[in-house]
Structure 1
Amino acid sequence: MTTIGVTGHMDLTEESVPLVRAALDDLLGAYEPGALVGVSCIAAGADSLFAEAVLHAGGRLVVVLPSTDYRTAKVKPDHAETFDRLVAAADEVLVMPHETADRQAYETANRTLLAHAERLVAVWNGEPPSGKGGGSADVVTEARNVGLPVDVVWPVGAARRR
């Protein structure tokens, strides 16, 4: 069994989505389908693309939600259908003990994701932390600090919306 967590940018350009999806399919295709578990917070962008790639590869999905109000407070209408489908497809849904999706809730969710993972996939452009906390660069740093292997996925042509 291999358990892989994900962190990544939410604001991928529309042109980046198929590039990232193909790179994730290639990466996860190397794992035995019945022995793959993906752990994701299923936010829009990289988290959901990873979760879909795990399911496409025949793996199992564990969803980590930052707070009890996450679905109603943070999931935008254009992501709701994907979010609901991924929650329904998950083998397990872990809801963090926070009422509100705030910085503390995201940090708890990220720590939980890393605690469940044997390695981390980072759909990340390699830029340093923004200073806001809880972003992709922060999660990569935390993973490396605890000795988790990190696979950075940022295909040629990938970009963030500006």
Structure 2
Amino acid sequence: MRRVAVTGHRGLPDEVEHAVEAALRAHVHSLGPRLTGLSCLADGADALFARAVLDAGGALEAVVPAERYREGLPEHHRAAYDDLLAAAVLVHRLPHVESTSQAHLEAGRHMVEHCDELVAVWDGRPPRGPGGTADIVGYAREQDRHVTVVWPSGATR
């Protein structure tokens, strides 16, 4: 079974989110039915990817960076997070309490270490802080993981 992890931006404008969702669904579909997706299930790229994996009949593994991770997510996303977490066949819980940048960095590294490919919803810009998409892409490349970047042409965050 092919194992594909996701990293990506949150808080995308609606038109960018719709384009990203379509691109993620097309990519997931191209990978075939024997797919396991790894995601932290945050709003934005993580949740879009997780839903695409499930809708394609793949298995979902959730990576929870910290005990208080859910509380750090936007309130409007918590029900979707709960639904995706419940749909996961396996939940990896990292040993952090607070949902910090360091916990997110470690979660991203965990996913890279347990995948065959990383899908990055990434605008190609440098990280805004530790643990962001650019850091995870860099780590995946250091680990010789295949990285597929999904970003709509001309889109901005």
Query: TM-score scaled to structure 2, two decimals?
Result: 0.95
Q: C-alpha distance in 2, partners of 1:58/1:82? A: 18
Q: C-alpha distance in 2, partners of 1:123/1:104? A: 20
Match of 2:5 in 1: 5
What SS does the aligned partner of 1:147 have? coil
One of 107, 110, 125 as aligned partner of 1:112:
110
Question: Are the aligned partners of 1:12 and 1:158 in contact in 2 as well (CA < 8 Å)?
Answer: no
Q: C-alpha distance in 2, partners of 1:158/1:23? A: 13
| Residue 143 of structure 1, CA deviation | 0.3
Question: Are the aligned partners of 1:123 and 1:152 in contact in 2 as well (CA < 8 Å)?
Answer: yes
Question: Are the aligned partners of 1:40 and 1:63 in contact in 2 as well (CA < 8 Å)?
Answer: yes
| Residue 159 of structure 1, CA deviation | 2.8
Q: CA RMSD in A?
A: 1.1
| Residue 157 of structure 1, CA deviation | 4.9
Query: Residue deviations 1:98-133, cap 9 Å, x none?
Result: 111112211221111111111100000111223x21
Question: Are the aligned partners of 2:60 and 2:90 in contact in 1 as well (CA < 8 Å)?
Answer: yes
Match of 1:19 in 2: 19
What SS does the aligned partner of 1:156 have? coil
Q: C-alpha distance in 1, partners of 2:106/2:127? A: 18
Question: Are the aligned partners of 1:70 and 1:101 in contact in 2 as well (CA < 8 Å)?
Answer: yes
1:75 alignment partner AA: L
Q: C-alpha distance in 2, partners of 1:107/1:155? A: 25
One of 125, 145, 149 as aligned partner of 2:146:
149
Gaps of 5+ in 1: none
Could you list the structure 1 runs, at least 4 aligned residues long, displaced by more than 3 angstroms after superposition.
none
Question: Are the aligned partners of 1:3 and 1:118 in contact in 2 as well (CA < 8 Å)?
Answer: yes
Q: C-alpha distance in 2, partners of 1:103/1:156? A: 28
Match of 1:38 in 2: 37
1:66 aligns with 2:58: no
Question: Are the aligned partners of 1:66 and 1:95 in contact in 2 as well (CA < 8 Å)?
Answer: yes
What SS does the aligned partner of 2:112 have? helix
Aligned residues: percent identity? 45
1:55 aligns with 2:61: no
One of 65, 73, 77 as aligned partner of 1:79:
77
Question: Are the aligned partners of 1:65 and 1:93 in contact in 2 as well (CA < 8 Å)?
Answer: yes
Query: TM-score scaled to structure 1, two decimals?
Result: 0.93
**Number of positions where the alignment pairs a residue of Structure 1 with one of Structure 2:** 157
